[in-house]
Structure formats: C-alpha cells, structure tokens
Structure 1
Amino acid sequence: MGSYIVVGAGLTGAATAWRLARGGHEVTVLERSTPANAQGSSHGSARIFRYGYADPFYVRLAVEARQAWEELERASGERLFTPTGALNFGERGDPAAQAAVFDEVGVEHELLSAAAAAARWPQFDFDSGVLWHPGGGVVDAETTVAAMLRLAEDGGARVETGWPVARVERAGAGYRAVSADGRTEEAGRVVIAAGGWLPDLLEHLGLPAAFLSAFPPVQVMQENVFHFPYRDVTEGAWPTFIHHEADMLVYGLPGGRDAALPDGPNGLKGGRSGLKIAQYNGGRPIPSASARTGEIDPDHRERIVAYVQRFLPGLVPEPYAETTCLFTNTPTEDFVIDGVGGITVASPCSGHGAKFAPLLGRIIAEAASGERPAPAPFRITAPAPTQSPT
C-alpha cells in the first residue's frame, strides 16, 4: 500500500481521505484552516442533491452518487441526506428534454403543467412546465466532512489543521509538501483538493508545463446567498428547485442549520430555517479564495428579492440572513480529476460537486492510486463537451 498527502479537508479532500484510508493506504490530510471552514466551499448544512442534468453522463453519475451516500450513511451511522424531492422549471431549462434524459437513464420523475404543479406546490408561481423527481434532496455538507474524516481517522489517517500548503516538490521517489512557515510532510503521492485556493497553488506543484498549459482556466466566484422566511408552508413541504428563469438561473432549498429562522411578525411560520436562495454564478469573480471579502452585493440582493416577489409567494420577500460562498468554475463546468506522476489535481467544482462527494472520493482515490483513470470528461486531455452539464 502507498502513502498519500491529501491537500484540503473540504468535501473533496475528506471523501478522498476516507476512500484511501479504507483501501489500506497511509494518509495525511493537510488543511490550511479547519475542515469545512466558512472560508471554503464545504461549510454549512444545506446542499442540493438532484438528478436534473441535460447530460446523461451526469444523471448516471448522480444515480451512482446516491448509492454512495447510502454507503456513507451506513458506514458513519449518521443521517447525511434528507429527501425533499426536486423541481426543475423554466423554458430555458427545457423540462421536457430533461424528462427524456430521465427516461433514458431510468430516474423516477413526473412532468407536470404549470397549473398542475401550482396546485401541488402553491408556494411557487411557475412560468413553465415542471419536472418533478422525488429522489432529490438536501445533503449536510459540514456533517458529511466530519463523518468522512472520522472514518478516515478510524482507518489510520492523520488530519493536520492549520497547515497551509505553499508548494509541493519532489523528495526522492515521492513528494514533499511545504507549509507557508516551512513545515514539511512527505509521502509517495499527493492529491490536491484545494478548492478555491487552487489558483494560488497550481503553479507551485512542480507539474510539467505541458500539463499546466492544458489545464482549463479556473475561475473563482464569490457568490451571494440569501435566506427568506416561510409564509404559510413550513420547511418540510418545500422541495429543492432549479429555475432557468429568463435572465438567470436560480436555485433554492431548505436552509437547515445555515441560518436560524427568527420568531416574529410578518407571517413567520414554524420550521427551523427559511429557504436558502441564490443565483447560480451571479456573483463576482475573484482571483482565488484568498481574495474573498464576504461583502454582499446590494444590487444582487435587490435582484433576488424581486425574484422571490415574482415566483415564490410562499416566502416573505425580506431576507433575514445573507452570506457569501465560493464557486470554483471550469469553462465547461466539468470537474477536473487528472494528474502527472504522483500528483493528482482534484477539483470537482463549478458549484455542483457537493452532491457527488462520496462517489468522487472513490473516483479520485482510484485515479491517484493508478487503479482506474477518472472518467474521460474529468481528464484534461479529453475533448471538451459541446454544452455545460448544468
């Protein structure tokens, strides 16, 4: 068995560490801060799990990922997935075409008219036909990271926090990770799961120029997220949704622990949280996670409030909490799992990787160990797809 350094203890790094340790490998996780910290992309309790992709490859991947979530829940003894069902609507998203992909893959679903959907979910005002798939839900990102790291440690892994990696260099037949303050760790192979910090690190990994030139551009986005209180329909009645509205793509889901719902006037009703709503890639680009400011864009807030007023009558259109988060995008929105020699770069990102976390850990572990290459869309030498998966 080999020895591995995993850089980053978010969903991707934690999943990889779990799978590697489970396979009997020696694993050291180096996390610049703390696992699932609020400066990265794996904090909080609420991420959407959905099957609704235009690309059959990702739908099949979601089917396999759901099985991986069940496996992780059994192994950890924790509830990490909350079923809610999921809605896709908006003419730009072409619900009927997505339904055809579901037919092809074998995902349970129902295609409804806007009127039929509104009768079932009066908290929405639909502007198109609606694709409903009951298998959708919400995954708890932060608890998942903790569960996977605990399982990794049970398998012998070591997790080091407060350990920002500055560079990776050759060390004999293996590699040495060097921290910003000069500390070092050595292993035979390295997996880079640095998320939004990847742009700062990519040029300091000793990777060949040809690999770096073929690597897709990485764009980090500081996104804005808002929580709105329920009016009459409580949390348990809200499915997750993806809406390809005329001018933007909006997603929403029950917010879980991400923001506590206050008691008070204006029709606030039960539930432990409000609905979490954001525009997909509606924020502003930043060079890397190190440039995150946490500042909310007031124009963006105004845009989302107007959206809630128009399409979500089941919410009070006044956000009671707001925050920022990070998306780390590739131009095609595909993930990257590829490398050279003993270094594997794993960046399952573009704002839709969380749902695949326990499956991606296996894919990355197999790619890093040489057991099996990652699927072609994740390798940087693969031909670029003609459309984004979203």
Structure 2
Amino acid sequence: MSHHIVIGAGLAGAATAYALTARGEDVTVLERHTPANDRGSSHGSARIFRYAYPDRLYTELVVRSRDLWSAVEAAAGTELISVTGAIDHGDVRHTAELAEIFDAVGVDHEVLDPAQASERWPQFAFDTEVLFHPDAGVIDAETTVNTLLDLARATGHARVLTDWTVAEVTRRSAGGFRATSATGESVEAESVIVAAGGWLPALLGALGLPEGFLSALPRFEVRQEQAFHMPYRDADESGLPRTRWPTFIHKSSEIFTYGLPGGRDAGFAGQKLAQFNGGRVIDSALDQDGQITEEMRTRMIDYAKRHLPGLVPEPYAETTCLFTNTPNEDFVIDEVDGLVIVSACSGHGAKFAPLLGEFAADLATGAGGVPERFRVGAR
C-alpha cells in the first residue's frame, strides 16, 4: 500500500481519490479552498454529459466513462446524471460526421431535418439538420465531487485537507515527495497527482518537474467563461418547464454556443447557456474576478432572441467558471518520475471524471497507461 497526494478537489481530483482508495491505496487530498468551490471548474449543479464528438476516441471514452458513472451512482445510491437527451446543430457542427461515429461506436441517435426538429422541439429555431442522441444528460458537478470524496473517505483510506494552498512540491532524499503549504505545513507521499485545473499554470514552477517535461507541455490558456440562466416561457407556477428541454450544442459560422437545463443552484427554472470559449483569457485562476461583462450579456440575450424562442431572453442568474485549454483541446494526462499531471480538460472534462480518476490511478500505481495522445511526449 502506498500513500498518494492529490492536489485539487474538483471533479478530476475527487475521482482520482476515489479510484485510488478503491484499490486500497492511501490518499491525502489537498484543496486550497473547499471541494467544488466556485473559484474552479467543478462548482454548481449543471454540466453537460454527451457522446457527440467529431473524434471517435473521445466518443469511445465517453462510453467507457458512462459505465464508471453508473458504478459510482450504484455505490452511492445517488443519481449524478439526469438524462435529458442532446441535440447538435449548426452549419459547422458536421452532424453527418458525428452520426457516422455514433454508427461505428454503437451510440443510439437519429438525424432530423429542420422541419422535423422544429416540430419536436419548438422551443428552438433550426436552420440545419439536427442530430439527437437520447442518452445524454446533465451532470450535477458539485454533488459528484462530494459523493466521490465521501466514497473515498468511507474506505478509511482518504483524508481531505481544505484551505491548504500548495506552495511547493519537493523530492525527498529517501524517495517520494513532500508538499509544503503556504503556511509551512507539509504532507509526504510516494506519489503526487496534480489535478489543479485553472490553478495549474501558476503551480507548474513549484512542482519540481524535469525541464524537458516542462518544456514539452502545451501552452495552457485559462478562460473565465460566462454563463447565463434564462427562464422558460412555458414555465409552471414553480418555474419548471412544461416542455422537456435537451442539452444542445450549436456550432455555426457565426457563433459556437452550448446550453443545458439549469440545475439545483439556479432553481431548475431556466436553460443555462454560454458561448464556448467566449470568456476573457487570464494567466491563471489567481487572476479571475468573477465579473460578467455587459458585452457578453447582450450577446447571449440577442442569441436567445434569435435561436431560442422557448426562453424569456432575460437572465435571472449568471455565473462564471474556468476553462483551461490546450491548443488542440486534447487532455494532458501523463506521469514523470512519480508525479502525475491530470489537466487541462479544455472545458469538456466533466463527463470523463471517473475515467480520468482511473487513468490517474493507473499512472500513479503503475497499473496501466493512458491514450498516447494525452501524454506530453506525444505533442
């Protein structure tokens, strides 16, 4: 049995802790704030779970991940993914390519022309073919993080230290690592897994990574995304929709947007929508200010007026979150001399959380590998 340090208690970090403790490994999770806090990428109760990728590898990984989600839900007796179905449309979404991958992988789906889609979902305005896959849904991110950590602690092999800011990770002369906090506390372990999301760029220089590995890392771009909840026109007395709303991705030559039924933290009373990678670029999570810009608010109101007739185009709730992107949006999951990096997930990592945890646990224990294209040396 080995002891592992996990830096970061978001979705990836919590999933890693759970995967390791399920194998009988000891884990200390170090979180600079609190698990799933609103300064990271895993807060709130609404993230999209979908299978649609113009890349067969990712679709296959979603299938693998869904089995793991089901196992976590069964272990906890808690629903973490609400099934809503998902629609993809827009003149550059390439629905035929997505459908071809679904056929190859075995994902249930159908393609509708604009008239058929408008009849089924009159709350949307369509001008292209629409791809629908019914098994997509909405992830409750915050509940997932807490569930995974609770399951990890229940094994007796995990502890979670909060308000614990990692200042430095050094290698011990006797082997293994020592993580030191900003206040001088320390934790020692045989391996370290860094799942710090938007905090990773500011932390890289303090991890003692070999220069060759550091220089081979892709450029990380952190964005402060802005999301808006708009109420349903056909809401009942409690604000819930009378019409069933799927999640959606709309990728046109004009704008790339996504949306999903808002979760618990927005009262389930509206659709959450955002422009993909529309937020401002910041150096790291340290530089976020949580501010919504009037420019983006106006842009999304205008978008709703033109494309979402089923919504009242007036935000009743707004939020920011962090996307930490690589240039090609591929994940970075790799290990060097006992230190594992699990980041960045480029705004689409939530659905893979339990699988990311398994990948990280495999690398930390030497039990297995990861897809080669996620490794630093493959770039």
Report the TM-score, using the length of structure 1 for normalisation: 0.94
Say whether residues 1:84 and 2:80 are aligned partners. Answer: no
After the TM superposition, list the runs of 4 or more consecutive aligned residues in structure 1 that deviate by more than 4 angstroms: none
Please point out which of 349, 354, 361 is paired with 1:358.
354
The answer to whether the 8 A contact 2:342-2:356 is kept is: no
Q: What per-residue deviation string (whole Å, max 9, x for no partner) do you get for residues 315-338 of structure 1? A: 001111111111011111011111
Segments of 5+ residues of structure 1 without an aligned counterpart are: 261-271, 384-390
Cross-structure match for 2:25: 25
Shift of residue 246, structure 1, vs aligned partner: 2.4
Matches within 5 A, 1:111-126: 111-126=111-126
Does the aligned pair in 1 maintain the 2:220–2:344 contact within 8 Å? no
Residues 224 and 320 of structure 2 are in contact (CA less than 8 Å); yes or no, is this contact kept in structure 1?
yes
TM-score in terms of structure 2 length: 0.97
Shift of 1:95: 0.8
State the shift of 1:375 in Å.
1.0
Deviations, residues 140-198 of structure 1 (Å, cap 9, x unaligned): 00000000000111122011101010110011211000101111000000000111100
* Deviation of the 1:235 alpha carbon: 6.6
Counterpart in the other structure of 2:16: 16
Residues 174-213 of structure 1 aligned to structure 2 (within 5 Å): 174-213=176-215
Structural mapping, 1:146-295, within 5 Å: 146-155=146-155, 156-171=157-172, 172-232=174-234, 234=241, 237-260=244-267, 272-295=268-291
Letter in 2 for 1:50: R
SS of the residue 2:258 aligns to: strand
Superposition map of 1:320-359 within 5 A: 320-359=316-355
CA contact (8 A) 1:235 1:274 kept: no
How much has 1:236 moved relative to structure 2? 6.0
Quote how far apart the aligned CAs of 1:258 are.
Answer: 2.7
Secondary structure of residue in 2 paired with 1:61? helix
SS of match in other structure, 1:281: coil
Provide the rounded CA distance (Å) in 1 between the counterparts of 2:53 and 2:168. 36
Structure 1: how far apart are the matches of 2:33 and 2:262? 24
- Name the counterpart of 2:238: none
* Identical positions, percent: 57
The structural deviation recorded for 1:348 is 4.4
CA pair 185-236 structure 1, distance change in 2 beyond 3 A? farther
Match of 2:305 in 1: 309
Q: Deviations along 1:35-62, whole A, 9 cap, x unmatched?
A: 0001111011000000110000000011
Partners of 2:335 and 2:208 in 1: how far apart? 11
Aligned length: 372
Tell me if structure 2 keeps the 8 A contact 1:222–1:292.
yes
How far the C-alpha of 1:127 sits from its partner, in A, is 1.8
**CA positional deviation for 1:339:** 2.1
Distance 2:243 2:77 in 1: 23
- Cα 1:198–1:141 change in 2 (3 A) is same
1:132, CA displacement in angstroms? 0.2
* Letter matched to residue 248 of structure 1: I
Greater CA drift, 21-30 or 340-349: 340-349
